[in-house]
Structure 1
C-alpha cells in the first residue's frame, strides 16, 4: 500500500478520471498479487507503475476502438478479443521486466535515481535536480544516458545486435 497514493497521482496526471484511476490502480495491484504467486518481483513499485501505464494504454485503445465500431442492433460481440494479455504475452512482459531491472541495476546510483524519478515518479528535471542536489543539465544528462543504456541492454539481452 506504500505505492498507492503515488501511483494514483501518476495515473491522474496521465489524464485519467478519478474513478477510472482508482480502478486502474486496483487492477495493477491485482496483477502484482497474481505475479507474486508465480515469480519473485524485485521492485513492486516499478511493476505497479509499468502495469498501470499499460492499463492506461489498454483502456485508451479500447475506448478508441469502441468509438470506431458501429454495430447493428442485436449484434453480439463474441468475436471481440479478450482485454487481458495472453499467458505468452504475460511471460514475455515478465521477462522484459526482469531484463529492465538488470539494466537499471547496472546504472550508477544517481543516474538510476534520476531516471526513476523522471519516468516513474513523473518529476520535472528541476524537481529531480533539487532532490538529488545536482544541476538541471546534469539531470538531463543522467536521464538521457540512463535511457540509452537501458535501450542498449534490452536490445543486447533480446539478441538484437543491430544497435
Structure 2
C-alpha cells in the first residue's frame, strides 16, 4: 500500500484493503479505548499508559504505511505488549538476592569430591615413599602411636623414627601443597 493511500480516521474503507478497515468509522478510537484498558492493567503510572498507547498507535500507523496489515487490532495489541515488555526490561530495578537465594559457596557434593581427590593424592604420594618411611608415617599420623612405641615395634631408634617422619612429611608437603592452597 502506498503512503498517499493510507486512510485516516473516519475515511471510507479502500477496496480490498484489510488495513484500511482499521481506520473506517472511527475504529481507531475504539481500538484506542480497548488498548488503553489493556495497557492500564499492566502499567501502574497513568502517564506511562498514555505514552505507551500513543507509541503503539504511531507504530501501527507507520506499519500500515509500509505494508498491508491484515489484523490491525491484533497487531496493535502485539505492539503494545512488546512496548510494555521493553519498558519493564529497561526499568527493572536490580534487587540483591536474599541470603537464602544464594547458592552455597561450597556445596556438599563439591566437598565430597575434593575430599576424595585429597585421599587419592595422599594415597599416591604415600605409595611413592619407601616401605619403612611409609610405615613410620602411617603408625604415627593415622594410628596415633608414640615415637617410642614405633621405635620399639620396628626395632629402630626413636631418632630414626623422627628422621623418617621428617622425610615423609617433606615429601607429602611437596606433593600435596597445591591441594592445601585451594582449601581442599
TM over 0.5: no
Flag the structure with larger Rg.
2
The TM-score normalised by the length of structure 2 is 0.39
**Structure ranking higher on relative contact order (CA contacts 8 Å, 6+ apart):** 1
Q: Please report the TM-score for the alignment, with normalisation by the length of structure 1.
A: 0.44
